[in-house]
Structure formats: structure tokens, C-alpha cells
Chains A and B, each alone.
Chain A
């Protein structure tokens, strides 16, 4: 069936480096994508979103890139900090139903 998946389950980066978390989706009808951050014991927290009519969107220290041709999106975190350590999920919010379809998540570990 349709799915949103992540390429790597874990990512370890040094503090200050840039992080890139990738996500593949299979439903070409998906028109809205969201990145969530989930810390241990907490619910997912919104980071940034992007609509399908865009290919790049920037926030504070974060950038999301969308490549509709290959059905791929990525989250870039600049100058990664220890507080960025968490599990990151990409999710799609399709036109039907409006609920979120989540991938499995990537665990980001920031080392000093």
C-alpha cells in the first residue's frame, strides 16, 4: 500500500555539523508534508511543513527540500545542537481524510 518511509533508522552527528534526514514517499497524490520531532516521553512536535507546489522551504536552522520527481524529501538541520537529539518523522497529509501518514522515524544523536 501507500507508505512514507525513511532511508536510515539512526544518524549520529557531531555538535555543530549539519544534519540531513531523508524520507521517501510512494503516493504521488500527496500534496502536503510535515516534519515532526519527537523527544523521549513526549508527543511529536511540529518542525516545518511544505506543500507540493514548493520545492524548498526554510525555517530557523531547518530547511525542507521536496523532490516530487523521485518522491523524496529531506530535512536539513544547520549547526546541529545537543537539543536536536530526538526521533524525526516525516508525515504526509493527503487530501482525503486529513490525518497524517507517518514514516518509521530516524533517530538523530548529536555527540559533543
Chain B
């Protein structure tokens, strides 16, 4: 079974530039998550989708971050404009159902460096 795919793996941009990350979840997984992992810390949820609808975006900095999952499969996370503190690894995860007892499968992440 193919895992969660993310691209690009690495991205270096200057502050105030824009950047977009792409995620392809495991086939058939209805729930998709974007996490931000700052160096030395655990991942922090940014946004959660159930199919193509947003379930939780309470921790998403909406003035600069946006995400979509238009067809309920792939998802894109965008930052515009980027700040230095956005340097982090952006992880995408998916799970089959929206359940408390549901394992989440993580992709390899995109490492963003903002200069």
C-alpha cells in the first residue's frame, strides 16, 4: 500500500515570498491533516479535512496560511507571505475514518526554510 506522498521535500524561500505544499493521502482515506513541526518540537495541527470539508482550522494562521482539498483527495497548503518563524517541517497525515481511535499515517514532510 502506497503511503502518504508530499512534495516538494525541501523548499527555501525568502521572507514575504509565497510557497505551496502538496499532499496525496493514502487511497480511500477520508480524513486529511496538516501539521507544522518546528525543530525540536512535536507536530502541531494546522488544519483537518473530512473529505473536502474543513473540520478544524482553529490553529491555522488564516491571515497568511490557506489550505484546500477540493475533490476530497489531494490537498494543498499555501503560505503567503512567509515569515521567518514559518521555517518548519510541514507534515501531512491521513486516516481512513474520522474516529478517536484511528491511526494517522504521516508523509515524509516538506522542510521549509525561510531566509
Contact = CB atoms under 8 A, between A and B. Distances in A.
Interface residue tally on B, bucketed by range: 20 to 34
Contacts of B31: 98
A33 B43 CA distance: 15
DSSP class of A's interface residues: helix, strand, loop or mixed?
A: loop
B108 A41 contact: yes
A34 B103 CA distance: 8
A43 B42 contact: no
Contacts, number: 65
B4 A43 contact: yes
B41 A105 contact: yes
Interface residues of A, number: 27
A98 B103 CA distance: 10
Contact of B108 (A34, A43, A91, A100): A43
A103 B104 CA distance: 16
Given A43-B106, A43-B107, A94-B100, A99 B41 contact: no
Interface in A58-112: 89, 91, 93-95, 97-105
Contacts of A34: 103
A5 to B, nearest CB: 9
Interface in A30-53: 31-32, 34, 36, 41-46, 49, 51
Interface in B24-62: 31, 33, 35, 40-45, 48, 55-56
B56 A93 contact: no
Contacts of A51: 101
Interface of B: 4, 31, 33, 35, 40-45, 48, 55-56, 91, 93, 98-109
